[in-house]
């Protein structure tokens, strides 16, 4: 029978997931000859030859037996001339790049690896670095592509005979050619250190670390993508001490539970949430706190949710298994505003005053990867932080960019991106780039992705936020000066809506309505925007409506102390003295460090027009949070609005309080005045909180309905940090559904500033496609 040959180029998540071993086994089963190898763009090349029945058998098995973590995005298949090959081989990886493919994210421990570390008869019993082709670190330990052992941190650990035997056995499905495998004989080692880096003698460092945690000590734990800080979550004194040491007065701490059964004793866990927690991505998931949860109220002050993840690495599982609670605080190992530590040197320098002990190991963390965070909003899973388990998987556009793009994102909760063809690759979560060290992390990782994906900077376009004082924009300007690349800027809220639209596959030139709601963004008129309804064709946009601009007396100080905003709004319908007296009566004055004097200054600034104006939803929510006595000081980004959502969740809608839409503006002054009057009449504060959020959502949806009259699609795309508010999102959706329209929130990127880079890349690509040169 005549021989034929096929060449396949496969892109997607096809390196680091047991893909080549899978191809090898399928080749043996179908009787074809040929080879499989990784290429330098993270893609895989396959050549198979044989009789046509054998080739058809290969393709059938290829489709049926794909490894669980693998994702095929593209498969290029061409018939080529047979070479007369005998047998099938896994070739050494090539450095050339035919196509660019995905870099595999880190995967949570699989059930088979968990079973092995718990089985006393298994040679990997209690081994804290157990992994296989289907789970374990990937991106966090990669120096470069392709994903081969010599290009990862595992190059420091040559395989022993037992591991090598598994590695070369084609029928060992989980370990044949699995690049990261090891065992107690040949793999990384754990050690326990004191806060000065001196070894602590312990027969079992993990058991000893668990004992120390149970005794109330605070322990740094070197994980997959960085160091955690572990501590008892059930002891008020321990949590209070951790807050004091970390200088983190109110921001909630994440919890790690041994498994979903333990997690179910802390939070209300339905089947959908359980699947998210147990998935290979294993994010921190914000869930309703159980009333009887044995967790200190100091873990998440003022909130009705807890952020919970389950042990996603063998080391974490073995540690929590030995603690009395089977759960613990597992928060990022950093000091406020700085990147999470990835090296022992960083821990000894920056966390010496925070932790008492260090559970360390000798596998290098090459790339910092924070834990991802997600929640449910209006019944949808929404990302808040996109990192471990998700990054750096790409997002595909429905169009191709004519030139390659580097996007620098926004300023807070930032991530950058590179874009080529129809793909946008976002970096992992970087953080707040108003901090210099974090800004340098953005620079470092953008350069890593530029090199990895072979972006030609001299031909690329750089894109940054329009805000002239964002450090991310200044970094983009430095890159432009260094490379000669073109730099374009994109308005913040335009990028938010474009990110949501691009995430759902909207093409440029299709006009869509969008809602962008957040704390701050630089507007085209030089004022602060943040409660916007836009009409966009991706390349450009038209502002269709917005919240009424309100004064921010003292600028940034009003953001920290939102009682200043509340006092400023009062001056729109009462005198300065009346505003001060009302602030005293309602307790707003006690929220201000300067007391009555500060309240009077804020009122004077607002009434005289000397306060900056903001149409921001985040800021008006902050003002209501202060007015209702929920939160008078912002200890972390978004705190007053986040606590307002928690406070109002069990409230009910008050029919006689409204947020009227007047022309293209939502009258928030009237809403504020009505709530103030109701508050002084003794109306339940939770009902008022719920009503405020619901009415604001309804008003924004009303403006969006008008934008839909000029749109080409029947969906409204909502994004921005405040878009995760469940009450607001449900109110928007309720109005849209009544009129036959739909609401879409981002799926694969955060609605907040962590998704801005996708929107920037989408806008830049659309402009390059449709705007004439020059």
- Strand 417-420 relative to strand 423-426: parallel, antiparallel, unpaired? antiparallel
Strands in 417-485 per DSSP E: 417-420, 423-426, 461-465
Query: How many Å from the N-terminal Cα to the C-terminal Cα in the chain?
Result: 61
CA distance 47 to 9: 9
- Residue 132 and residue 357 in contact, taking contact as beta carbons nearer than 8 Å: no
Q: Which two tokens stand for residue 528?
A: 């602060």
Active site residue 38: yes
Give the number of other Cβ atoms within 10 Å of residue 456's Cβ: 12
Q: Which two tokens stand for residue 737?
A: 């559904």
Strands in 466-559 per DSSP E: 486-490, 512-522, 528-536, 541-547, 550-551
Say whether the peptide bond before residue 728 is cis (omega within 30 degrees of 0).
no
Active site residue 20: yes
**Residue for token pair 């405040």:** 722
Return all residues near 739 (Cβ < 8 A) that are at least 6 apart: 705
| Among the listed residues 555, 626, 568, 622, the one whose alpha carbon sits nearest the alpha carbon of residue 600 | 568
DSSP string for residues in 638-682: THHHHHHHHHHTT----TT----EETTEE-HHHHHHHHHHHHHTT
CA distance 23 to 134: 15
Return all residues near 482 (Cβ < 8 A) that are at least 6 apart: none
| Paired strand residues for 34 | 48, 88
CA distance 563 to 561: 6
- Residue 627 and residue 689 in contact, taking contact as beta carbons nearer than 8 Å: no
Extract long-range pairs of 637-643: CB within 8 Å, 24+ residues apart.
637/412, 637/413, 637/432, 637/519, 638/519, 638/721, 638/722, 639/250, 639/251, 640/562, 641/722, 641/725, 642/303, 643/302, 643/303
Return all residues near 697 (Cβ < 8 A) that are at least 6 apart: 725, 727, 728, 729, 730, 731, 732, 734, 735
| Among the listed residues 136, 146, 119, the one whose alpha carbon sits nearest the alpha carbon of residue 181 | 136
Q: Which two tokens stand for residue 19?
A: 């893909």
Of 25, 38, 367, 725, the active-site residue reads: 38
Query: How many degrees, rounded to 5, is the angle at CA 455 between CA 476 and CA 72?
Result: 120
- Residue 132 and residue 68 in contact, taking contact as beta carbons nearer than 8 Å: no
CA distance 760 to 409: 7
Return all residues near 773 (Cβ < 8 A) that are at least 6 apart: none
CA distance 495 to 408: 12
Q: Which two tokens stand for residue 753?
A: 């500033």
CA distance 177 to 200: 37
φ/ψ of 566, rounded to 5, equals: -60, -45
Q: Which two tokens stand for residue 604?
A: 């004077």
Q: Which two tokens stand for residue 663?
A: 């022309």
- Which active-site residues does the annotation give? 20, 38
């Amino acid at each position: 029978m005549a021989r034929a040959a096929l060449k396949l180029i496969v892109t997607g998540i096809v390196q680091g997931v047991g893909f080549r071993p899978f191809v090898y086994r399928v080749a043996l089963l179908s009787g074809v000859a040929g080879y499989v190898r990784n290429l330098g763009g993270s893609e895989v090349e396959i050549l198979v030859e044989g009789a046509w029945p054998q080739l058809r058998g290969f393709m059938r098995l290829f489709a049926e037996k794909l490894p669980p973590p693998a994702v095929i995005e593209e498969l290029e298949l061409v018939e080529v001339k047979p070479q007369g090959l005998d047998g099938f081989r896994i070739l050494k990886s090539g450095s050339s790049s035919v196509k660019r493919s995905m870099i595999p994210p880190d995967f949570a421990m699989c059930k088979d690896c968990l079973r092995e570390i718990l089985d006393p008869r298994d040679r990997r019993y209690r081994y804290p670095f157990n992994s296989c082709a289907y789970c374990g670190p990937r991106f966090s330990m990669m120096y470069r592509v392709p994903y081969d052992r010599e290009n990862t941190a595992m190059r420091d650990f040559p395989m022993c005979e037992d591991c090598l035997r598994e590695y070369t056995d084609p029928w060992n499905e989980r370990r044949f050619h699995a690049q990261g495998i090891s065992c107690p004989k040949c793999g990384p080692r754990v050690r326990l250190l004191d806060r000065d880096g001196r070894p602590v003698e312990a027969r079992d460092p993990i058991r000893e670390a668990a004992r120390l945690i149970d005794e109330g000590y605070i322990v740094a734990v070197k994980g997959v993508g960085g160091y955690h800080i572990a501590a008892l979550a059930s002891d008020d004194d321990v949590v209070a001490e951790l807050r004091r040491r970390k200088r983190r007065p109110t921001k909630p701490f994440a919890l790690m539970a041994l498994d979903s059964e333990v997690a179910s004793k802390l939070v209300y866990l339905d089947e959908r949430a359980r699947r998210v927690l147990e998935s290979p991505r294993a994010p921190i998931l914000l869930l309703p706190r159980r009333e009887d949860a044995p967790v200190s109220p100091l873990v998440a002050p003022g909130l009705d949710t807890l952020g919970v993840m389950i042990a996603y690495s063998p080391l974490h599982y073995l540690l929590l298994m030995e603690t009395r609670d089977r759960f613990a605080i597992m928060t990022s190992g950093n000091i406020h505003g700085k990147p999470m530590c990835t090296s022992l040197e960083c821990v000894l320098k920056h966390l010496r005053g925070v932790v008492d002990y260090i559970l360390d190991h000798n596998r290098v963390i090459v790339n910092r990867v924070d834990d991802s965070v997600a929640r449910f909003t209006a019944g949808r899973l929404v990302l808040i932080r996109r990192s471990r388990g998700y990054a750096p998987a790409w997002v595909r556009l429905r169009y191709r960019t004519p030139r390659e793009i580097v996007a620098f994102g926004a300023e807070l909760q930032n991530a950058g991106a590179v874009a080529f063809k129809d793909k946008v690759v976002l970096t992992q979560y970087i953080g707040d780039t108003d901090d210099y060290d974090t800004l340098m992390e953005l620079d470092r990782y953008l350069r890593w992705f530029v090199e990895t994906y072979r972006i030609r900077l001299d031909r690329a376009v750089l894109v940054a936020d329009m805000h002239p004082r964002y450090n991310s924009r200044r970094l983009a300007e430095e890159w432009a000066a260094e490379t000669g690349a073109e730099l374009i800027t994109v308005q913040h809220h335009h990028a938010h809506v474009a990110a949501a639209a691009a995430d759902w596959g909207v093409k440029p030139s299709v006009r869509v309505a969008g809602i962008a709601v957040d704390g701050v963004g630089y507007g085209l008129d030089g004022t602060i925007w943040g409660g916007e309804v836009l009409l966009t064709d991706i390349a450009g946009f038209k502002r269709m409506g917005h919240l009424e601009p309100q004064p921010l007396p003292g600028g940034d100080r009003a953001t920290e102390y939102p009682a200043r905003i509340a006092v400023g709004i009062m001056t729109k319908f009462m005198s300065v003295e009346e505003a001060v007296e009302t602030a005293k009566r309602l307790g707003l004055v006690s929220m201000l460090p300067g007391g009555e004097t500060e309240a009077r200054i804020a009122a004077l600034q607002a009434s005289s027009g000397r306060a900056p104006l903001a149409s921001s939803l985040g800021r008006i929510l902050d003002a209501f949070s202060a007015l209702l006595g929920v939160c008078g000081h912002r200890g972390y980004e978004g705190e007053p609005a986040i606590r307002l959502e928690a406070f109002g969740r069990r409230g009910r809608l008050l029919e006689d309080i409204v947020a009227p839409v007047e022309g293209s503006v939502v009258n928030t002054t009237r809403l504020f005045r009505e709530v103030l009057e109701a508050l002084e009449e003794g109306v339940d504060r939770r009902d008022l909180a719920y009503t405020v959020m619901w009415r604001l959502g309804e008003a924004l949806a009303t403006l969006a309905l008008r934008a839909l009259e000029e749109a080409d699609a029947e969906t409204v795309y909502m994004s921005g940090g405040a878009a995760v508010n469940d009450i607001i999102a449900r109110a928007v959706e309720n109005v849209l559904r009544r009129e036959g329209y739909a609401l879409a929130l981002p799926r694969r990127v955060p609605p907040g500033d962590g998704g801005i880079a996708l929107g920037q890349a989408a806008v830049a690509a659309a402009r390059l496609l449709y705007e004439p040169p020059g």
